[in-house]
Structure 1
Amino acid sequence: MNHQHTEPTTSSSSSSSNHSNGGDSNVVVDGAVIVGAGPSGLAASACLKQKGIPSIILERCDCIASLWQHKTYDRLRLHLPKSFCQLPLHPFPSHYPKYPSKRQFISYLETYARKFGIKPHFNETVTAAEYDETVGLWRVKTTSCNDDVSEVGLGLGFSRCCKNKEYVCRWVVVATGENAEVVVPEMEGVEEFAGAVVHTCHYKSGEMFKGKRVLVVGSGNSGMEVCLDLCSFGARPSIVVRDTVHVLPQEMLGRSTFGLSMWLLKWLPIRLVDRFLLLLSWLIIGDISKLGLTRPKMGPLQLKNLTGKTPVLDVGTIPKIRSGHVQVRPGIRRLKRLAVEFVDGRVENYDAIILATGYKSNVPSWLRGGNMFCEKDGLPKSPFTNGWKGGHGLYAVGFTKHGLLGASIDARRIAEDIKQQWTSHDSSSKKQVHPILEQVF
């Protein structure tokens, strides 16, 4: 493994205008700037390091994989086998189960970061990134703030100390992913509702909901699994299902449904594979239309390829729906003080509402210009497998809607592409980097 030049060479200088509480600084980075220290950002950094390319990671939170560490429920496990979820250059430990737990996955990522010497810049939020055509380089602006205790009058108070930085570099790798910000739907009467309304990013377990009637909004993998978790703690959950949904068993014929699908696609057209999966699903979990769940007309794999919508892999919720422990409800018309009115006119009392309504990209809020990302949804305009590369040294990893496997593929491609530019720019051209960069300031 080549580890030459793997620590980013930087130079700093104070800017002419200092922040009132901390001061601004400019940082020159010879390698790549990666935005986001989730699995995608770690994978990109490791692949670059293996190619001998330096990089730094900018992370707004206080740890790697902050979504996994701070915003996931306790019972969460990988829904796909570990062989499809490992990051490049480092497999999961052999003693890990087929579907690692949340804690095991976090431990794996921490080991991964240590192995490759990845040390992100934590608590540093990227506020803007823009390509400067006058010098042919990227300007990445960040803010980091700390609350310091200080004496205010006769008592103690808090003084916020903020520092601004501007990184200048040739390559920017966007690794903030598809799950950067929560999605909270608009619901009429939400201010009137007397119970708790909680997004799954704040949900840890069903312990606090024991004996309560809970409405889960969202019928994806998270919504279905939260219902199962609520049942295990003695709650009485209902789930809102507004749209059609594909539900498949997590395993078929002794193999993971995902693994079986990938194997079948090597030999059969996608339509035949979809028909086979739906037949097996009907044999294993039965006719879900009798449970109030309607399948889309398009098959699960075709729908995934066309829209990115992932089928639900059932881990035990369907039997709970069949037994009546989980009730299926249509869309919400409005909320009342102690009740919910549904679009079919039914009104039912609930103690709490859990929003399993997912997340969205935040790239449009800080990436300036360029034509790589869509302003509406913050995702690359080009579909997988072509959405990893933009113009002027801009890259994206983890936006494929193909999970960790897609992110790993992106990371390898990005590292190889930057390696070719790094090699062609080596020797005499590379020696000119700092003199050119210093003209920026």
Structure 2
Amino acid sequence: MDCLRELEGKRAHDRKRVWVPGPVIVGAGPSGLAAAACLKEKGVPSLILERSNCIASLWQLKTYDRLRLHLPKQFCELPLMPFPPHFPTYPSKQQFVDYLEEYSRKFDLRPAFNEMVLSAEFDRTVGFWRVRTVRSAEYVCRWLIVATGENAEAVVPEIEGAAEFGGEIVHTSMYKNGEVFRGKRVLVVGCGNSGMEVCLDLCNHNAYPSLVVRHTVHVLPREMLGKSTFGLSMWMLKWLPMPLVDRILLLVSRLMLGDTARLGLSRPQLGPLELKNLSGKTPVLDVGTLAKIKKGDIKVCPGIRRLRHNLVEFVDGRKENFDAIILATGYKSNVPSWLKERDLFSEEDGLPRKPFPNGWKGEWGLYSVGFTKRGLLGASMDAKRIAEDIERCWMAEAKHLSSFTCSLFHQS
């Protein structure tokens, strides 16, 4: 134990201390880039710390090839820069990454890559944040912006008998396309947008997918009446109450898609917008998967009871053989593992305690961006609010920071 204390003390002594005059932003995804650009536009410098070796690492390294934005591009653009006019309504994964790269160049955003944050703690004795990274650096700053988002870590559920299964079990973060599963029987666990799209992709690569549907789910057409379902919903909400808009959406969906419950996709009691507003659960926007289910190309299965060698036992007693399992079980926040503050973020799920639109600001100069459960549009709204809030005290505090910093570092 004494050796461990001595080693930790040596690391603390050897740690390089870096003063950051503006905010430190943890995460170089769309949320972090948006916050940095909004700050820069107001004359406030910032430092972005990114654990990976590129911007938008989730998009670049952990998404499947066929991915496109689920919403029209006008609802997904970051502040201060629209998508190029020639981009399609639903940009591809690569087009979105290209857009983010151009966004970084336009605002001269230069994240510090391979800087994984170990801890971030507010030092009340001096009134500054201390952000420590694995590369033995300590960044000292007045403001800290958490931009690691809702999708920082893959959720991998424990399934009884997983060690016995023998076949491949992968999370969608490791799935690129269905080519390696050609001719195989594949069970996809999770019926959100990712699970539905992976099933469709598997069909297109001549695999034989089945889809585990454990809970109720709203499936809506991606477009209604020649307009995007999301855009149409936002327009109707300007004039009509949410429950009425939900009823209209469900009526049109029934006319276009039929009764999804007959396919094993029962709908929740709450309408899609009310459910999204209360729980953050996003409805599935169908891009062709439902037609494959209707044709029998994709089978719908209940929850899993346990696994055996190349065999899945379902909760209804059925047993089927599968060659592989793909977990479309989503992601979670990793904030509780490194942020030593319990006021703004919940320890249970790593999300802001206050619901949208009030979860973007905490105490002691702490902010969050990209945790609204409202996608890129919500992240952009947070980024603008944060920049405006920091700008208000930036000019007043800037004069005092430089003199205080000299004193702080002289003492250390």
Deviates more, 1:417-426 or 1:329-338: 417-426
Measured after TM superposition, the shift of residue 439 of structure 1 is 5.5
CA contact (8 A) 1:370 1:391 kept: no
Measured after TM superposition, the shift of residue 436 of structure 1 is 4.3
**Deviation digits for residues 301-352 of structure 1, max 9, x if unmatched?**
0000000000000011000000000000000000010110000000000000
Aligned equivalents of 2:403, 2:92: Cα separation in 1: 48
Within the candidate set 216, 219, 226, 2:188 is matched to 216
- Which amino acid is 1:62 matched to? N
Within the candidate set 212, 217, 221, 1:245 is matched to 217
Task: Name the structure 2 match of 1:54.
Answer: 45
| TM-score using structure 2 length | 0.96
Measured after TM superposition, the shift of residue 269 of structure 1 is 0.2
Measured after TM superposition, the shift of residue 72 of structure 1 is 0.2
CA contact (8 A) 1:217 1:355 kept: yes
For residues 10-409 of structure 1, the aligned pairs below 5 Å read: 19=11, 23-144=14-135, 164-409=136-381
Aligned equivalents of 1:411, 1:165: Cα separation in 2: 26
Task: Name the structure 2 match of 1:7.
Answer: none
Matched, 1:435 2:393: no
Task: Name the structure 2 match of 1:157.
Answer: none
SS in 2 for 1:368: coil
Relative to structure 1, the CA distance from residue 302 to residue 73 in structure 2 (aligned partners, 3 Å threshold; closer, same or farther) is same
CA contact (8 A) 1:187 1:334 kept: yes
- Which amino acid is 2:358 matched to? N
Aligned equivalents of 1:439, 1:186: Cα separation in 2: 51
Task: Name the structure 2 match of 1:156.
Answer: none
Aligned equivalents of 1:440, 1:265: Cα separation in 2: 57
SS in 2 for 1:372: coil
Measured after TM superposition, the shift of residue 170 of structure 1 is 0.3
Relative to structure 1, the CA distance from residue 440 to residue 255 in structure 2 (aligned partners, 3 Å threshold; closer, same or farther) is farther
Number of equivalenced pairs: 405
Measured after TM superposition, the shift of residue 19 of structure 1 is 4.8
Relative to structure 1, the CA distance from residue 356 to residue 134 in structure 2 (aligned partners, 3 Å threshold; closer, same or farther) is same
Aligned equivalents of 2:22, 2:298: Cα separation in 1: 52
Measured after TM superposition, the shift of residue 433 of structure 1 is 3.6
Aligned equivalents of 2:236, 2:410: Cα separation in 1: 56
Task: Name the structure 1 match of 2:3.
Answer: none
CA contact (8 A) 1:363 1:378 kept: yes
Measured after TM superposition, the shift of residue 434 of structure 1 is 1.9
Higher strand share: 1
CA contact (8 A) 1:17 1:24 kept: no
Measured after TM superposition, the shift of residue 183 of structure 1 is 0.3
CA contact (8 A) 1:135 1:440 kept: no
Aligned equivalents of 1:55, 1:431: Cα separation in 2: 15
Measured after TM superposition, the shift of residue 430 of structure 1 is 4.1
SS in 2 for 1:91: coil
Aligned equivalents of 2:9, 2:111: Cα separation in 1: 27
Structure 2 runs not aligned, ≥5 long: 1-7
SS in 1 for 2:162: coil
SS in 1 for 2:176: coil
Aligned equivalents of 1:418, 1:48: Cα separation in 2: 8
Aligned equivalents of 2:276, 2:176: Cα separation in 1: 28
- Which amino acid is 1:409 matched to? M
**Deviation digits for residues 41-90 of structure 1, max 9, x if unmatched?**
00000000001001000000000000000000000000000000000001
| TM-score using structure 1 length | 0.90
Question: Superposition RMSD on alpha carbons, in Å?
Answer: 1.5
Aligned equivalents of 2:318, 2:341: Cα separation in 1: 48
Measured after TM superposition, the shift of residue 370 of structure 1 is 3.6
Measured after TM superposition, the shift of residue 369 of structure 1 is 2.4
Aligned equivalents of 2:107, 2:331: Cα separation in 1: 29
Aligned equivalents of 1:119, 1:352: Cα separation in 2: 40
Higher helix share: 2
SS in 1 for 2:117: strand
Task: Name the structure 2 match of 1:150.
Answer: none
Aligned equivalents of 2:71, 2:365: Cα separation in 1: 32
Aligned equivalents of 1:433, 1:352: Cα separation in 2: 59
Aligned equivalents of 1:373, 1:44: Cα separation in 2: 19
SS in 2 for 1:348: strand
- Which amino acid is 1:364 matched to? P
Aligned equivalents of 2:90, 2:168: Cα separation in 1: 32
